[in-house]
Structure 1
Amino acid sequence: MGFAPAPADTAPADIAPADTAPAETAAPAEGTAPAFWVDPQSAAVRQVAEWRRAGREADARLIERIAGQPQAVWLHSDGAGAVVRSQVEAAARAGRTAVLVAYFVPHRDCGAYSSGGARDAAHYRRWIDDFAAGLGSRGAYVIVEPDAVAQLVAGCPRADAAERYGLLAHAVERLKRQPHTRVYLDAGNASWIPDERRLVAPLRRAGIAKADGFALNVSNHQTDATSSAYAHRLARELGGGKHFVIDSSRNGNGPYQGPQAWCNPPGRALGTPPTTRTGDPSLDAYLWIKRPGESDGTCRGGPRAGQWWPEYALGMARRARG
């Protein structure tokens, strides 16, 4: 079962643009750790503006906990190169680094809530080439194909395993040609494939040797501690000193203990804000890869995968610590 439904590229049409970008888009002071870009036109930013106009000031302040944080931009349709270029150029103007997700592999999500992707292998290779060209020399953090490897390990009859591994290896190698680009191949989460040794050979087939490392917990809710312990075990099994990043966007209350724990679970909260200051030399960053407030799919009354869900976002922000 997939865990990383594709967010929409834009906010719903009925949410008006914000009047100003969040203050966090200012460039970081010289000498500080690398900082990530805050999208001034995200659905959360627009929601803040809409609720302020409607007099919902307290709710707007809560959503600012999301709007003010850097979050990944997901690319999952044709025309990726132009979108990537616009993102990395905007980030560069702010003196920051974009976080991007490549999410277009054929038979994406094995036909579940986030089904779709490229028509075939040739289409995907052209798409990745376009994505990479959009990066230019600006650089970015790129997460490669959430769920794609773990789904093969768990069982995905729709996908041809040999073809998918080859496409993932191509994506890693092609993206790493771009200067200043850090590439992390997705490795699922600590609850999906509990025995991390089962991921070693698949990740090697998918090109992990040429990546900077792997990503964990994308769109899931495992705690930072659980994910980090799992990541260190996996890194030891892989060898070569691989690093990793952790998606901490929605794990503030840990995983839901109930059915369909991955899909719009109740009672969740925002987690550790994005940062490269992790205190762990192997953990390159905590990132908000899944955009908090975007639905996992049409479960528990949610809209389709990737659509902004303001009341769900509000709950996560209200329950966030700090």
Structure 2
Amino acid sequence: MRSRIRALVAAAALGVLLAVPSAPTAVAHGGDRLYTPPANPDAYTQIAGLLRDGRYADAHKISAMIRTPQAVWFGTQTPAEVRKGVAKTTKDAAREHAVPVLALYNVPGRDCANYSGGGASNTAEYQEWVDAIAAGIGTRPAMVILEPDSLALVPSDCGQDDAEQTLTAARFAEINYAVDALEPLRGTRVYLDTGHPNWHSVNSIAPRLIRGGVQRATGFFTNASNYQTEDASNWYGTLISSCIAFASAGGDTAACPNQWWPREDARAWISANVTASPADMAHFVTDTSRNGLGPWTPPAGKYTNAEDWCNPPGRGLGDRPTTRTGSALQDAKLWIKIPGESDGSCFRGTAGPEDPERGMIDPVAGHWFPEQALELATLASPPLH
């Protein structure tokens, strides 16, 4: 009887927690909100378990996290399924006068066939899938995060291409196709991949963005699923946008300042070499879903491959999603990666199967990771309310 009463109380408390609406987050066009999708079902299971255990503060933290606007990912569905799913998401968001963030993740050879490998089988299949996305969006507003790691990690980077770089050329053709299919849609803004500021230099990624069609898109995104600070991501985006503008005016991207230049010197270079108005430059968005405490610094000498990007311990949620960034070039801070979902099985150079930093087997990529979810919510900076 006592356990049944506890279960009923937990169910009632869960309903109260999840009935509290998420805070409105204004976007630049029309003052709408960013869309908050239904959470991973396992998040609700975790909340219910915390409530049954009397851990009400922890349950509230997870509830507040999943009631924050974040992206909806598409990548394993057939064209028919993805058209239906995108249409439902954009219709649901439109009814709430909100703008959804759609993360598309289906490019052939994605993630070098590693933790999040998969994707369409070939270019024709991918184009059919993109066309279904476009049909699902229609004329409803959407922000499109186009293929994380697609430009920062091309097939030639993985040793998976031939001497003529056939697969890499196909990758750029696929991204260009998606830009041309999606950016012209009324109300749709498309952002291309840059990896993160501790990966490619500005001089390396800007040419890839240009080859990928960024000048026909709204812009690009950075730090997706990573942990670099918002300051570093914003500065990286500003430099990339400036470099693209410089190249569009006939300049050489090799001459652009990169993220490792002294900032005073880089600002002086931009002032002297970039004449375009911010309105005419490539804009960017950043992923702040897990960067509240910045990147993890692995213990010195402990691991042969620390995999600092893979479920690092002691991280926290970052800035809440918003389009009020205070920057003429930064369109939004977004939660692109779903906080609480695993990065994959992290062995850190060991034989596994446990993650030696956590002393447990990490869930496969995309599955709910209760321990990490609570960690992110507890260590959020700024704190959750």
User: 2:121 maps to what in 1?
Assistant: 119
User: 1:167 maps to what in 2?
Assistant: 174
User: 1:102 maps to what in 2?
Assistant: 104
User: 2:335 maps to what in 1?
Assistant: 288
Which of 275, 278, 281 in structure 1 is aligned with 2:322? Answer: 275
Quote the RMSD (CA, aligned, Å): 2.2
User: 1:89 maps to what in 2?
Assistant: 91
Q: CA contact under 8 A between 1:69 and 1:273: conserved in structure 2?
A: yes
User: 1:187 maps to what in 2?
Assistant: 194
Query: Are 1:209 and 2:215 an aligned pair?
Result: yes
Please list the CA deviations of residues 147-201 of structure 1 after superposition, one character each: whole Å capped at 9, or x if unmatched.
Answer: 01001298123351100000001011101122101110111100111x2111122
SS in structure 2 at match of 1:132 = helix
Deviation of 1:49 after TM superposition, in Å, equals 3.9
Which of 255, 259, 262 in structure 1 is aligned with 2:295? Answer: 255
Amino acid at match of 2:334: L
Larger RCO (CA within 8 A; separation ≥ 6)? 1
Deviation of 1:29 after TM superposition, in Å, equals 8.9
Q: CA contact under 8 A between 1:81 and 1:134: conserved in structure 2?
A: yes
Deviation of 1:32 after TM superposition, in Å, equals 7.7
SS in structure 2 at match of 1:260 = coil
Please list the CA deviations of residues 255-298 of structure 1 after superposition, one character each: whole Å capped at 9, or x if unmatched.
Answer: 01122110000111000000011111111000000010100001
User: 1:150 maps to what in 2?
Assistant: 152
Amino acid at match of 2:20: A
User: 2:255 maps to what in 1?
Assistant: none
Which of 218, 222, 225 in structure 2 is aligned with 1:219? Answer: 225
Deviation of 1:58 after TM superposition, in Å, equals 2.2
User: 1:241 maps to what in 2?
Assistant: 281
Matched pairs, number: 305
Distance, in Å, in 1 between the alignment partners of 2:313 and 2:203 is: 31
Normalising by structure 2, we get a TM-score of 0.75
Deviation of 1:54 after TM superposition, in Å, equals 4.8
Q: CA contact under 8 A between 2:25 and 2:323: conserved in structure 1?
A: no
SS in structure 1 at match of 2:323 = coil
Which of 222, 230, 237 in structure 2 is aligned with 1:231? Answer: 237
SS in structure 1 at match of 2:35 = coil
User: 1:3 maps to what in 2?
Assistant: none
User: 1:7 maps to what in 2?
Assistant: none
Q: CA contact under 8 A between 1:245 and 1:286: conserved in structure 2?
A: yes
Q: CA contact under 8 A between 1:26 and 1:94: conserved in structure 2?
A: no
Distance, in Å, in 2 between the alignment partners of 1:182 and 1:311 is: 35
Relative to structure 1, the CA distance from residue 65 to residue 282 in structure 2 (aligned partners, 3 Å threshold; closer, same or farther) is same
Amino acid at match of 1:23: V
Which of 32, 40, 57 in structure 2 is aligned with 1:34? Answer: 32
Q: CA contact under 8 A between 1:297 and 1:304: conserved in structure 2?
A: yes
SS in structure 1 at match of 2:296 = coil
Q: CA contact under 8 A between 2:151 and 2:193: conserved in structure 1?
A: yes
Distance, in Å, in 2 between the alignment partners of 1:244 and 1:82 is: 28
Deviation of 1:41 after TM superposition, in Å, equals 4.1
Q: CA contact under 8 A between 1:19 and 1:49: conserved in structure 2?
A: no
Amino acid at match of 1:35: R
Amino acid at match of 1:274: P
Distance, in Å, in 2 between the alignment partners of 1:29 and 1:215 is: 19
Deviation of 1:68 after TM superposition, in Å, equals 1.6
Q: Percent identity?
A: 42
For structure 1, the residue ranges without an aligned partner over 5 or more in a row are 1-15
Deviation of 1:28 after TM superposition, in Å, equals 7.2
Q: CA contact under 8 A between 1:216 and 1:227: conserved in structure 2?
A: yes
Distance, in Å, in 1 between the alignment partners of 2:237 and 2:25 is: 29
User: 2:270 maps to what in 1?
Assistant: none
User: 2:274 maps to what in 1?
Assistant: none
Between 297-306 and 100-109, report the one with greater CA deviation: 297-306
Q: CA contact under 8 A between 1:107 and 1:158: conserved in structure 2?
A: no
Please list the CA deviations of residues 64-114 of structure 1 after superposition, one character each: whole Å capped at 9, or x if unmatched.
Answer: 231120110110112211111111111111111111111000011001100
Relative to structure 1, the CA distance from residue 125 to residue 27 in structure 2 (aligned partners, 3 Å threshold; closer, same or farther) is same
User: 1:76 maps to what in 2?
Assistant: 75
Deviation of 1:320 after TM superposition, in Å, equals 1.1
Q: CA contact under 8 A between 1:45 and 1:67: conserved in structure 2?
A: no
Distance, in Å, in 1 between the alignment partners of 2:230 and 2:242 is: 18
Amino acid at match of 1:168: I
Q: CA contact under 8 A between 1:33 and 1:277: conserved in structure 2?
A: no
